[in-house]
Amino acid sequence: MARQKRVDTSSYKTFGDISERLEEIVKQVKRKDIPLESSLDLFDEAIALGQKAVDFVDTDSVTSEESLQAEREASSKQDTDVSKGVQSEG
């Protein structure tokens, strides 16, 4: 049976709101004790939020400040991922 769950994203009015919620979702999914059903629900929510974020970008609803913040966060995450990779190889 296929999962068809509609996620309400209307409460997220800015790109920053979406970004914050996506960070929360990532933290929750990384927990080892989260049930599969909850993980799938969070995945559905993340997909819907991602689509809304794309819509914001496509319609220029993202402010330049939000854009810069997103770039900084992505760069910071990439730097962290690289340093973790280096540490695990050593």
pTM of the shown model:
0.64
Q: Could you read off the pLDDT of 3-20 as tens digits, one per residue? A: 557 889 999 988 889 999
Q: Could you read off the pLDDT of 63-88 as tens digits, one per residue? A: 666 666 766 776 666 555 555 554 44
Q: In this structure, what is the dihedral angle of CA atoms 78, 82, 85, 89, given to the nearest 10 degrees?
A: 180
Q: Could you read off the pLDDT of 20-38 as tens digits, one per residue? A: 999 999 999 999 899 999 9
pLDDT of residue 88: 43
pLDDT of residue 1: 46
Domain boundaries, given as residue ranges, for the chain: 15-89
